[in-house]
């Protein structure tokens, strides 16, 4: 969508719909945010968490990046945008839940099976995709590589589990999960039919969330 269209939509929102949320925005401005859930999703433009969860302003603390990846905890003085968002949500906002939401037809997961050029244009993308390598290994061991679509779907779901494990490398996350004050959830969203699945630890598989 072009910027001109975005501006037009904004103008329509201000004119036609803002009054529906005016009191809510005033309250959020005065009292600050108090979201109960950190939603870690993909930057993919087809994924709109507010739309399919029905979340209102102030409900979700949203972290989006390429592939909904969670880098393992690394205590150094480099720049860590994803890690900073996790720490802020867990230790400052004190969210009650963290949802890692993968999705079908994920470009990041598909890219795990492609040769990324050694170029300055892709230096950060190539490094970032290393976070998904354990999921690639899990998928290949599980279904092999003959059926590409099955392989990609399996990789997408395996990646959600990898990111949940990576979350537990963060000291505050691990501590609060152990205390029972923080809960982790793995979701998988199907773009083609808007079906949402969650990881059932007892069944050790993703199952549909009941309508």
Question: What pLDDT is stored for residue 158 in this prediction?
Answer: 98
Residue (of 185, 196, 208) closest to 104 by Cα position: 196
Query: Taken in order 49, 163, 98, 25, is the CA torsion positive or negative?
Result: negative
Strand partners, 129: none
80 with 15, same domain?
no
pLDDT along the chain (211 residues), means of 10: 92 91 95 97 97 96 98 95 98 98 98 94 96 98 93 98 98 98 98 97 94 64
pLDDT attached to residue 1:
78
* 133 and 62 within one domain: yes
Please check whether residues 12 and 49 belong to one and the same domain. no
pLDDT of residue 210: 79
Which tokens sit at 94?
């004190």
* Total number of domains in the chain: 2
DSSP states of the chain as a string?
--HHHHHHHHHHIIIIIHHHHHHHHHHHHHH----SEEEEEE--TT--HHHHH-PPTTSEEEEEEGGG--PPP--SSS--HHHHHHHIIIIIS--SEEEEEEETT-HHHHHTTS----STTSHHHHHHHGGGHHHHHHHHHHH-SSSHHHHHHHHHHHHHHHHHHHHTTSHHHHHHHHHTS-EEEEEEEETTTTEEEEEETTTTEEEEPP-
Quote the CA–CA distance of 178 and 116 in Å, as a whole number: 39
Are 24 and 112 part of one and the same domain? no
pTM of the model: 0.95
Q: Does residue 201 share a domain with residue 111? A: yes
Beta bridge partners of 184: 98
First to last CA, the chain: 31
Same domain for 185 and 200: yes
Using the Cα atoms of residue 107, residue 110, residue 112 and residue 115 in order, give the sign of their dihedral.
negative
Whether 150 and 186 map to the same domain: the answer is yes
Domain range enclosing 132: 35-208
Task: Say if residue 27 is in the same domain as residue 41.
Answer: no
Burial of 113 (0-12, 13-18, 19+ CB in 10 A): middle
What residues form DSSP beta bridges with 61?
38
Region of 98 (left: φ > 0; alpha: ψ -120 to 50; beta: rest) is: beta
Provide the token pair at 17. Answer: 């719909």
Q: Is the domain of 8 the same as that of 52?
A: no
CA distance 71 to 166: 7
Task: Let me know whether 10 and 83 are in one domain.
Answer: no
CATH value at residue 63: 3.40.1050.10
Domain shared by 25 and 71, yes or no: no
Same-domain status, 43 and 26: no
């Amino acid at each position: 969508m072009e910027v001109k269209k975005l501006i037009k939509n904004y103008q329509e929102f201000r004119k036609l719909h803002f009054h529906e949320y005016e009191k809510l925005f005033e309250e959020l401005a005065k009292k600050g945010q108090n979201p109960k859930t950190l939603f870690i999703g993909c930057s993919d433009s087809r994924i709109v968490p507010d739309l399919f969860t029905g979340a209102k302003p102030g409900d979700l603390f949203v972290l989006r990046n390429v592939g909904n990846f969670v880098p393992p905890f690394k205590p150094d003085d480099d720049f860590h945008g994803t890690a900073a968002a996790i720490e802020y949500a867990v230790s400052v906002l004190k969210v009650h839940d963290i949802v890692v939401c993968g999705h079908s037809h994920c470009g990041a997961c598909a890219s795990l099976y492609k040769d990324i050029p050694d170029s300055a244009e892709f230096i950060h993308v190539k490094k970032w995709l290393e976070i998904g390598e354990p999921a690639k290994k899990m998928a290949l061991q599980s279904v092999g590589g003959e059926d590409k679509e099955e392989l990609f779907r399996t990789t997408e779901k395996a990646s959600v589990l990898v990111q949940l494990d990576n979350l537990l490398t963060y000291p505050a996350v691990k501590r609060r999960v152990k205390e029972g004050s923080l809960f982790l959830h793995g979701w998988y969203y199907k773009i083609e039919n808007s079906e949402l699945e969650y990881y059932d630890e007892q069944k050790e598989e993703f199952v549909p969330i009941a309508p």
